[in-house]
């Protein structure tokens, strides 16, 4: 299980060789214990605390500890000091970043992202027949961006990076415009916004992306890929460039989970708080999203590359396949 701790003043420590979370609820102290072998990762909000014993126990069981901002974006993590894989992968990754191999991978990831967006719009037609013509038109507009991107030629990623971003951005604008148009009027929004979110939908989506960023980084590290060495995204100071590259085909997971909450009218005013120039998820909103999204990622089995896997296992498998391809191991 993935352990989320975002209650103000919550404290994670070790008791009887088990994790124990202690917090106060409605004036009463509550305690919950979990066996370490059942925990896969621990997510801590900035209002929580943990002991060094808890860190040590987590490292013993290879449990990822992630500290997140209020919007769900990870700001740091505790990870085992051992590399856990061959350095050949990282060396090959650097070489690939300077060659046509980077072009191949970036095009594959971004095309898949856009195709996922088009496929999602196509799925909307099934239950919105009165909007079928509009949705089909939007789907075709999105798919045209994927076709243009797939046909791009270039040996160096820096020579076509701006064109890729332009096509990706156009597809994204059409996509989110479409999602807004098919939701109940009370949930309509005007495009993507992040810091801060301008509406409740983007507040939920930003938090879901934050969870996904953490999951992608973990998948890459386990596979032996360097998360700071990207192909398309710039190598700015402390930027997880490869995370931002590799995440693209999987953004659809966050978007699907959030859209279902809104289209199912499960979100209301108690789930977000108004902040300066925008909205932020509160404790109730985070609880609603985390339960839905973790269920979608970790517990629902899908058919993936001929196997029955959870979406998270599928992502991890893709990370290993990417790492293996870098060193010529299929």
Q: What are 202-211's pLDDT values in tens digits?
A: 999 999 999 9
Distance CA 249, CA 233 (A): 15
49 pLDDT higher than 90: no
266 pLDDT higher than 70: yes
Residue 83 banded pLDDT, cuts 50, 70, 90: low
CATH number (3.40.50.1820, 3.40.50.2000, 3.40.50.300, 1.20.120.920) of 87-98+197-330 reads 1.20.120.920
Distance CA 198, CA 191 (A): 9
Q: E strands of 27-87, at which residues?
A: 28-34, 41-44, 49-50, 64-68, 74-78
13 pLDDT higher than 70: yes
| SS3 category, 178 | helix
Cβ neighbours for 169, distance < 8 A, ≥ 6 positions apart:
none
In angstroms, the Cα distances linking 224 to 82, 90, 93, 218, 219 are: 11, 7, 10, 10, 9
Share of the chain above pLDDT 70, in %: 96
Please tell me the predicted confidence (pLDDT) of residue 5.
Answer: 82
Residue 73 banded pLDDT, cuts 50, 70, 90: confident
Please tell me the predicted confidence (pLDDT) of residue 82.
Answer: 60
Helices (H), 42-86: 52-60
Q: Is the domain defined by 2-68 classed in CATH 3.100.10.20? A: yes
Rounded (5°) CA angle 233-238-244: 30
Mean pLDDT on 178-190: 92
Please tell me the predicted confidence (pLDDT) of residue 180.
Answer: 95
Please tell me the predicted confidence (pLDDT) of residue 37.
Answer: 87
Q: Check residues 178 and 47 and name the one with the higher pLDDT.
A: 178
Pick from 6-10, 105-109, 140-144: least confident: 6-10
Residue given tokens 């500290």 in the structure block: 67
Share of the chain above pLDDT 90, in %: 61
- Sign of the dihedral defined by the CA atoms of residues 75, 79, 85, 91, in that order: positive
């Amino acid at each position: 299980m993935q352990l989320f701790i975002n209650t103000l003043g919550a404290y994670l420590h070790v008791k009887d060789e088990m994790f124990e979370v202690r917090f106060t609820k409605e004036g009463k102290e509550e305690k919950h214990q979990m066996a370490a072998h059942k925990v896969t990762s621990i997510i801590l909000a900035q209002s929580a605390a943990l002991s060094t014993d808890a860190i040590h126990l987590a490292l013993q069981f290879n449990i990822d500890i992630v500290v997140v901002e209020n919007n769900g974006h990870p700001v740091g993590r505790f990870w085992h000091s051992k590399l856990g894989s061959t350095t050949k992968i990282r060396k090959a990754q650097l070489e690939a970043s300077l060659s046509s191999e980077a072009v191949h991978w970036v095009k594959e990831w971004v095309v898949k992202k856009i195709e996922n967006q088009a496929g999602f719009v196509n799925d909307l037609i099934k239950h919105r027949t009165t909007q079928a013509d509009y949705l089909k038109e939007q789907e075709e507009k999105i798919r045209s961006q994927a076709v243009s991107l797939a046909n791009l030629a270039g040996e160096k990623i820096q020579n076509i990076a701006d064109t890729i971003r332009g096509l990706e951005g156009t597809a994204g604008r059409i996509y989110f415009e479409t999602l807004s148009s098919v939701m109940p009027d009370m949930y309509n929004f005007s495009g993507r916004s992040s810091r801060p979110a301008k509406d409740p939908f983007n507040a939920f989506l930003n938090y879901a992306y934050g969870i996904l960023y953490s999951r992608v980084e973990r998948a890459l590290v386990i596979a032996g890929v360097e998360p700071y060495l990207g192909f398309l995204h710039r190598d700015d100071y402390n930027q997880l460039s490869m995370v931002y590259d590799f995440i693209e085909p999987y953004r659809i997971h966050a978007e699907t989970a959030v859209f279902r909450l809104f289209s199912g009218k499960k979100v209301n005013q108690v789930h977000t708080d108004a902040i300066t120039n925008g909205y932020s998820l509160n404790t109730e909103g985070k609880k609603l999203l985390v339960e839905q999204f973790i269920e979608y990622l970790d517990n629902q089995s899908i058919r993936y590359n001929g196997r029955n896997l959870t979406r998270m296992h599928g992502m991890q498998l893709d990370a290993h396949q990417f790492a293996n391809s870098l060193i010529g191991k299929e």
